[in-house]
Amino acid sequence: MTLSISSRLSTPGACLAGLALAFALGGSLFLACGSAPNSIDVRGYPPDMQARYDLFEKRCTRCHELERPLNARIGAGGWSKYVRRMARHPAAGISVEEQREIAIFLEFHAERRRDAQRQALEGGAP
Amino acid sequence: MNGALLALIFMADVNFAGSIFVNQPTLVSDPTDDARELLGDTSYGLNAEANFKVVAEVQEHVSASAKVCYGCHGFMADMAYVDWTVVEPFNVRVGRFPVPFGEFYLRHDPANHRTTTKPLPYEMGRMLRRNQYNLAVLPEPYPDNGVEFFGTVSTERAEVSYSAYAVAGLKGDASIGDLDFIRSRSEYVADNNRTPAVGGRLTLAFPNLPVPSWRWFALGASAMWGHYDDDAALSYFLGGLDLYTRVQKVNLRGEVMFRRTEIPDRPEAFRHVLRDLFVQRDGFYAELDGPVLDRFEWLVRFDGFRRDGAVPTVSSLDSTDSRILRYTGGINVIPLTGIKLKLSYEYWHFTDFPAAQVVHTGLVGTF
């Protein structure tokens, strides 16, 4: 079998080095990371919010990862418009009532995030 | 139109989003010892694509969206449209928008699908030997200018979504009897034959299933018809069926599709006797993916493509019936919010060429 590498890599060793670099990069970032990016633990949320998270998870992951809305920087009160825009995608299939429920959850989650960030800042102050 | 859209955006409540994807294809077996022919120019080395999207809520029932993409073929407008919700189940979209065909078109952004490459029927620059096949069924993204009507009607148990549209249509070259995707994207963004292409998509979804762990089940059907040559004499027809289901956090997606493209009655332009005055392209994929632990994702995919019909003299294909099967496995690492490392291995089996293996290393960032 002939082994050849595209682009500027010219030896099998270089190929393996590239892959090793990719794994090393991923591993380093992994070790440096904080909370899980693609889901959240809602066990501490009120039951109605847990139910809304379930709906949000079910509806929104059909087209994209949860990470994008969970970490989006939308101002307080802005989620209902944002969710309505998402729901306009053909076949998104998010009803008006569901849009409302998902937006309530995302507002709640965003407020929690802001609180946590405020507390972290206050706790870190000298 | 773009100026008016920008004016609307500056006047309205605006959100920005985007992604950047860098991919390094590494050919680990090349029996022909000709990586450039196998990979093509766009996959020969490191390649990158970026998307930047602006969405503005103009008023209660009207929004405007614009999206610019940078990829192997430079900058292009992937979106520039206005949505008007007339009533909740009836919306109108006017401008340049992603044409709704199949299940993949909503997820074509690298940040929204888990693989490094697209399913073979939709592949573009990362398709091996794409010059020999002149690509597959419908390279995505496929943005076009036109008007679309869409909406969703829901009941307690099921929901039906529909989409019907008229767009300028794909462009092609009558001399070789096939679509020309570069011409479709880079020439004047106008209808070359003043005959719109029309199509539609219908999905039936069951979001509330009796088993709690079974989260979604949806079936879809798509069709598109139009003329590709400047004289509006040669037509193309695409049809497809798709399935999406989700059990817990594991997704299963599958599609089958075809494109029948009329060819001119010019025997001198082809290497084979003309049996039929069309070329048929069939494609399929099945993909299974899910998360593992908090920061990893796994995926497996099986996809294929078949080209059946007379071969133009400009192509190096030998057979009138050529097939490709591809087997893909991959692992993604999500080290930080907004960053994903995608690693995948692909085994390509060709009926007309020796098999090939490729490892893709991709990094996607979202904001």
The DSSP element (H or E) to which B10 belongs, if any, is helix B2-11
Is cis: bond before B141, omega within 30 of 0?
yes
| Tens digits of residue pLDDT in B209-219 | 888 889 889 99
What pLDDT, on the 0 to 100 scale, is given for residue A1?
34
Cβ of B154 within 8 Å of Cβ of A8? The answer is no
Which chain B positions have a beta carbon within 8 Å of A65's beta carbon?
A: 111-112
Chain A residue at shortest CA distance from B151: A90
DSSP β-bridge partners for residue B43: none
Cβ of B83 under 8 Å from any chain A Cβ? yes
Cβ of A88 under 8 Å from any chain B Cβ? yes
Judge whether residue B58 has pLDDT over 90: no
What pLDDT, on the 0 to 100 scale, is given for residue B93?
96
Cβ of B91 within 8 Å of Cβ of A25? The answer is no
Which chain B positions have a beta carbon within 8 Å of A53's beta carbon?
A: none
Do the beta carbons of residue B333 and residue A26 sit within 8 Å? yes
What pLDDT, on the 0 to 100 scale, is given for residue A118?
84
What pLDDT, on the 0 to 100 scale, is given for residue A11?
44
**Dist. CA B67–CA B152, nearest whole Å:** 24
What pLDDT, on the 0 to 100 scale, is given for residue A14?
47
DSSP state of B320: S
| Tens digits of residue pLDDT in A3-46 | 333 443 444 444 554 555 555 555 555 544 445 566 788 888 99
Which chain A positions have a beta carbon within 8 Å of B90's beta carbon?
A: none
Cα dist from B45 to A5, A6, A25, B24, whole Å: 9, 6, 20, 6
What pTM value is reported for the model? 0.85
Distance from CA of A35 to the nearest CA of B (A): 8
Q: How confident is the model at residue A117 (pLDDT cuts 50, 70, 90)?
A: confident
Do the beta carbons of residue B120 and residue B326 sit within 8 Å? yes
- For the residues B215-229, what does the mean pLDDT come to? 95
Interface probe for B, chosen from A66, A68, A88 (most Cβ of B below 10 Å), is A88
- Three-state SS for A9? coil
Judge whether residue B204 has pLDDT over 50: yes
**Dist. CA B329–CA B357, nearest whole Å:** 12
Q: What per-residue string of b and e applies to B41-79 under the rule 16 or more CB within 10 Å gives b?
A: ebbbeebebbbbbbbbbbeeeebbbbbbbebeeeebbbb
DSSP letter string, B267-319: GGGBSS--SSSEEEEEEEEEEEEEEETTTEEEEEEEEEEEEESPPBTT-----
What pLDDT, on the 0 to 100 scale, is given for residue B31?
65
Query: Which tokens go with B248?
Result: 């817990």
Amino acid found at B274:
L
Q: Which residues contact residue A76 at a Cβ distance below 8 angstroms, ignoring those fewer than 6 apart?
A: A107, A110, A111, A114
- pLDDT over 70 for what percent of chain B? 95
Judge whether residue B1 has pLDDT over 60: no
The DSSP element (H or E) to which B59 belongs, if any, is strand B47-59
Judge whether residue B45 has pLDDT over 70: yes
| Tens digits of residue pLDDT in B300-334 | 999 999 999 999 988 888 889 999 999 999 999 99
| Tens digits of residue pLDDT in B75-86 | 888 899 999 999
Cβ of B150 under 8 Å from any chain A Cβ? yes
Judge whether residue B295 has pLDDT over 90: no
With a CB-CB cutoff of 8 Å, which residues 14-53 of chain B face chain A? 15, 17, 24-31, 33, 35, 39, 43-46
DSSP state of B8: H
Nearest to A90 among B31, B46, B161 (CB): B161
Query: Which tokens go with B209?
Result: 């299933």
Cα dist from B230 to A79, B26, B184, whole Å: 46, 39, 12
What's the mean per-residue pLDDT of chain B? 89
Which chain A positions have a beta carbon within 8 Å of B128's beta carbon?
A: none
| Tens digits of residue pLDDT in A35-91 | 556 678 888 899 999 999 989 988 888 888 888 888 777 878 888 888 888 887 777
Cβ of B213 under 8 Å from any chain A Cβ? no
- pLDDT over 90 for what percent of chain B? 55
Cβ of A4 within 8 Å of Cβ of B24? The answer is no
Q: How confident is the model at residue B7 (pLDDT cuts 50, 70, 90)?
A: low
Judge whether residue B190 has pLDDT over 50: yes
Judge whether residue B9 has pLDDT over 70: no
Which chain A positions have a beta carbon within 8 Å of B106's beta carbon?
A: 63, 89-91
Cβ of B100 under 8 Å from any chain A Cβ? yes
What pLDDT, on the 0 to 100 scale, is given for residue A13?
47
What pLDDT, on the 0 to 100 scale, is given for residue B228?
94
Nearest to B46 among A2, A7, A92 (CB): A7
**Dist. CA B25–CA B27, nearest whole Å:** 6
DSSP β-bridge partners for residue B322: B307
- Look at residues B176, B132, B124 and name the one whose alpha carbon lies nearest to residue B37: B132
| Tens digits of residue pLDDT in B234-291 | 999 999 999 999 998 899 999 999 999 999 999 898 988 888 999 999 999 999 999 8
| Tens digits of residue pLDDT in B93-132 | 999 999 999 999 988 888 888 999 999 999 988 899 888 8
What pLDDT, on the 0 to 100 scale, is given for residue B300?
98
What pLDDT, on the 0 to 100 scale, is given for residue B317?
86
